[in-house]
Structure 1
Amino acid sequence: METLAVTWTDEAGLGRLQESRLAAALRAAERSPFYAKRGVPADRTELAAYPLTTKQDLREAYPFGLLAVDRAELATYHESSGSSGVPTSSYYTAGDWQDLIERYARKHVGIRADDMFLVRTPYALMITGHLAHAAARSRGATVVPADNRSLAMPYAKVVRVLHDLDVTLTWSLATDTLLWAAAARLAGREPGRDFPALRALFVGGDPLGPAKKKRIAEIWKAPVVEEYGATETGSLAGECPHGRLHLWADRALFEVHDPVTGRTSATGRGQLVVTPFYREAMPLLRYNLEDSVEVSFPDCPCGWALPVVRVLGRSAWTVQTGAADLTQADVEELVFGLPAEYGVMFWRARFEESRLRVQIEVTEDHRDAAARELRAAVEYAHGIGAVIEPLPPAALVPERLLTAEPDVVKPRGLFHAGEDWDKALEYY
């Protein structure tokens, strides 16, 4: 287990630690063209009234408008996975990376030198794959760079590698572990039986409620360890031994922003705002991640004395139902609240006028019960009508997606007679 060195014992002690570390973050921001132009607050009191830094600010500052060091000092450059079409840049120095690695490795299932660690998140321009890779190597583990959204690593190959290499740890989207399970079964292997080396699944990047987390752990017979972060910030929260997701408030200042009133608070439900303490290349002041969260500060047996966060999903994905907001996490919790024997793993939903339409993959013998129970759960939990459409397995996730192994070729110019030379310049 990775040891979290705690030098505070309560919320007041954490606040004093934050005060001491915030001063350096504010000084670093003075070197950023973006913040130098806007003006930098002198202390925490002034910071509380400072304008939020938005994703639009980052887009308009593309590519180096927030750079606070000479380019020669940079170690890596990244862009987020946002869908707006306009990139948001992030960059880190070697010193920044020391902090990134330490935060990611704060896991109650520690990364060991004898681990075979499969990294199944994108490498590309996002930080997620590189971060897990670097953290694993810093602990001496062997990394299997499986990537994601890559034709070179389809689901069938992931299953083969998990099995044949005796993978012990994985890092992926939570939903990806369900796709592996379906692919494994199509290959004649049972997730909870035929992968005995697997000792934990590290997941992040999509909402993970208690019901979904429990279902994944039951399927794989391995603990599921949650992580929360962003390309712009690195790891922001990790799971303690008691299953709570704690914000790393010793490494960043967190606020909860109400987009309706404009007010912020230390706890409650709203959008997460972060001011990292250790950023040389790209300081951020009150950066609004636009993620819907719920933050509290309960006593936790782990003794970390850090706030607890529940990640509800992107604010842009929240649906206004009239009575209340409906998040992806809300719906997903009800879907995975169905009995495990129904075998429901894949779903999708759409709010239409005054009701929610939900499609789920479910076997024929449980179809009626699943539709009836999920409809009642939606109506009871959220006070809206629901239309549940039970679909046969493979209706939402086709088997070809889970079994295909596409031919990944290099560019080729010379062909034999009769060969398909229309592929001469294709590389996929």
Structure 2
Amino acid sequence: MPWTRPGPAGWSSPDELAAVQRAELPRVLATALRSPFYAARYADGAPPRTAADFADVALTTKQDLRDAYPYGMLAVPRERLATYHESSGTSGEPTASYYTERDWTDLAERFARKWIGISPSDTLLVRTPYALVITGHLAHAAARSCGATVVPGDLRSLATPLSRIVRVLHDLEVTLTWCNPTEAMMLAAAARAAGLRPDRDFPALRAMFVAAEPLTEVRRRRISEIWGGVPVIEEYGSTETGTIAGQCPSGTMHLWADRAIFEVFDPATGDLTRTGRGQLVVTPLWREAMPLLRYNLADEVEVADTPCPCGWALPTVRVFGRAAFAYPVGPATVTQSRLEELVFALPAPCEVVFWRARADRDVLRVEIEVADEHRERAVKELRSSIDRELGVPHQVDAVAPGGIVPTATLRGQRDILKARYLFGPGEDWSGAVMYQ
């Protein structure tokens, strides 16, 4: 029997939305108890079955998912699975995720909730990985469900260097792109390296969808400026959950609270609250294959019920990323997001796009790529803003374009050869059977 999932409306207050969520909880809890992980967790006690029981449910952690690899979280027969995925995390231990066809209907619908819309007249360039992570497959499925043409550009593939993607982006008159914020800037730099102007030579482009990195408002504006003012529309999610938040026309991120229960966890006190600042905890409401109860994403966020001009009656969220991206320097702590704000607050004519920093205990070292004619101004202004805003010992150095992102990366083309066994006279056969 098909599930009747509500849309992103149908309530007018946080309390009404919470009532919608509570009504789904008994089914969610029953589904979770079909998985080996949750069945074992509650084997020695009364399992949670009602909305009231949910208050006592313990967090599910990333380590729980690693320990349950590969099928410990599975709540349906394996023959019902549509896809298997693993997170892009760097722990070295696999984190498995799986989805049924019914799950994929929900995944695609959530991704397609872009306020600018996806239609059959669109051509969407997917410039995220198609490997075990979900991101490329998610955009592909959502675009096809809307009737759009998909260009599977992939990422980190030898077959799709930046120069080739820029050609496709231009020649196919791509209207929408899906990538991370850094890739949006890399594509712009590669376009310039190819003799094209991102703000002029891609007139069909009408929006860029971005995710996978915390994105400050100042960097979002800079990306939009580089590409001629097109909207840069952010979303937030994970391989384990799919899309869980999207940006509204007012530029605010909203949690899709009609599809999941969201809570904020304070690791210092152990408290779970509906709003506030802390780590985001997610309980999907419409997940078949891999139900998750109070799954701690461990991303630092700030959730609020503040009304938004867009009129969406959904909680808002600011995503700060992992706490690991904050380091002590001298008397203060430096975060990646705060430093990014200062770098991209540099005047646009300086054209500072690529930068890197190392936070040593006694000094913050920053490098920026900048042309010679803007070097003095950019360095002076960044030093001044670090002094004023961060108040830490620092050193700012400028390197010429290509010093951080090599020019060969922007312009390079590499042939991908298929395996070969038979060679002619004088040919180099050292590549036999190898993919080069």
User: Does residue 420 of structure 2 align to residue 412 of structure 1?
Assistant: yes
Cross-structure match for 2:430? 422
User: Alpha carbons of 1:345 and 1:135: their partners in 2 closer, same or farther (altered >3 Å)?
Assistant: same
Q: Deviations over 1:235-256 (max 9, x none)?
A: 0100111110111111111112
Q: Deviations over 1:298-337 (max 9, x none)?
A: 1112111111111112233332447665432222111111
Cross-structure match for 1:29? 32
Contact in 1 for aligned 2:332/2:392 (Cα 8 Å) = no
User: Does residue 365 of structure 2 align to residue 357 of structure 1?
Assistant: yes
Question: Which amino acid letter does the alignment assign opposite residue 15 of structure 1?
Answer: A
Cross-structure match for 1:133? 140
User: Does residue 92 of structure 2 align to residue 85 of structure 1?
Assistant: yes
Range that drifts further, 297-306 or 203-212: 297-306
Range that drifts further, 162-171 or 362-371: 362-371
Cross-structure match for 1:261? 269
Q: Deviations over 1:204-229 (max 9, x none)?
A: 11111110000011111211111110
User: Alpha carbons of 1:123 and 1:381: their partners in 2 closer, same or farther (altered >3 Å)?
Assistant: same
Range that drifts further, 21-30 or 116-125: 21-30
Cross-structure match for 1:312? 320
Q: CA deviation at 1:416?
A: 1.6
Q: Secondary structure at the match of 2:222?
A: helix
Q: CA deviation at 1:268?
A: 2.3
User: Does residue 281 of structure 2 align to residue 278 of structure 1?
Assistant: no
TM-score normalised by L of structure 2: 0.94
How many residues get paired?
Answer: 426
Unpaired runs of 5+ residues, structure 1, are none
Contact in 1 for aligned 2:8/2:256 (Cα 8 Å) = no
Report the Cα distance in structure 2 between the residues aligned to 1:65 and 1:41, rounded to whole angstroms.
19
User: Does residue 254 of structure 2 align to residue 251 of structure 1?
Assistant: no
TM-score normalised by L of structure 1: 0.96
Superposed CA RMSD in Å reads 1.6
Contact in 1 for aligned 2:179/2:211 (Cα 8 Å) = yes
Q: CA deviation at 1:24?
A: 1.6
User: Does residue 18 of structure 2 align to residue 18 of structure 1?
Assistant: no
Q: CA deviation at 1:380?
A: 2.7
Contact in 1 for aligned 2:328/2:361 (Cα 8 Å) = no
Question: Which amino acid letter does the alignment assign opposite residue 13 of structure 1?
Answer: E
Q: Deviations over 1:3-41 (max 9, x none)?
A: 964101111111111111222211111101101111243
User: Does residue 221 of structure 2 align to residue 214 of structure 1?
Assistant: yes
Q: CA deviation at 1:48?
A: 3.3
User: Alpha carbons of 1:292 and 1:188: their partners in 2 closer, same or farther (altered >3 Å)?
Assistant: same
Q: CA deviation at 1:262?
A: 2.5
Report the Cα distance in structure 1 between the residues aligned to 2:399 and 2:416, rounded to whole angstroms.
33
Q: CA deviation at 1:47?
A: 2.8
Q: CA deviation at 1:169?
A: 0.5
User: Alpha carbons of 1:135 and 1:421: their partners in 2 closer, same or farther (altered >3 Å)?
Assistant: same
Question: Which amino acid letter does the alignment assign opposite residue 293 of structure 1?
Answer: V
User: Does residue 169 of structure 2 align to residue 166 of structure 1?
Assistant: no
User: Does residue 434 of structure 2 align to residue 400 of structure 1?
Assistant: no
Q: Deviations over 1:148-188 (max 9, x none)?
A: 00001000001000000000001001110100110000100
Cross-structure match for 1:178? 185
User: Does residue 208 of structure 2 align to residue 197 of structure 1?
Assistant: no
Q: Which of 285, 291, 297 is 2:299 aligned to?
A: 291
Q: Secondary structure at the match of 1:217?
A: helix
Contact in 2 for aligned 1:252/1:276 (Cα 8 Å) = yes
Contact in 2 for aligned 1:74/1:91 (Cα 8 Å) = yes
Question: Which amino acid letter does the alignment assign opposite residue 291 of structure 2?
Answer: P
Cross-structure match for 1:148? 155
Cross-structure match for 1:384? 392
Among all aligned residue pairs of Structure 1 and Structure 2, give the percentage whose two residues are the same amino acid. 57
Q: Secondary structure at the match of 1:422?
A: coil
Question: Which amino acid letter does the alignment assign opposite residue 343 of structure 2?
Answer: V
Q: Deviations over 1:44-89 (max 9, x none)?
A: 4443332211111111110000000000110110001011111100
Question: Which amino acid letter does the alignment assign opposite residue 79 of structure 1?
Answer: E
Range that drifts further, 414-423 or 110-119: 414-423
Report the Cα distance in structure 2 between the residues aligned to 1:410 and 1:332, rounded to whole angstroms.
42
Q: CA deviation at 1:422?
A: 1.1
Cross-structure match for 1:53? 60
Q: CA deviation at 1:284?
A: 0.4
User: Alpha carbons of 1:262 and 1:270: their partners in 2 closer, same or farther (altered >3 Å)?
Assistant: same
Report the Cα distance in structure 1 between the residues aligned to 2:19 and 2:7, rounded to whole angstroms.
18
Q: Which of 100, 104, 108 is 2:107 aligned to?
A: 100
Report the Cα distance in structure 1 between the residues aligned to 2:405 and 2:111, rounded to whole angstroms.
31
Q: Which of 237, 245, 249 is 1:237 aligned to?
A: 245
Report the Cα distance in structure 1 between the residues aligned to 2:348 and 2:156, rounded to whole angstroms.
28
Q: CA deviation at 1:417?
A: 2.0
Question: Which amino acid letter does the alignment assign opposite residue 342 of structure 1?
Answer: C
User: Alpha carbons of 1:44 and 1:405: their partners in 2 closer, same or farther (altered >3 Å)?
Assistant: same
Q: Secondary structure at the match of 1:421?
A: coil
Report the Cα distance in structure 2 between the residues aligned to 1:327 and 1:296, rounded to whole angstroms.
22
Unpaired runs of 5+ residues, structure 2, are 1-5
Range that drifts further, 232-241 or 33-42: 33-42
Contact in 2 for aligned 1:207/1:328 (Cα 8 Å) = no
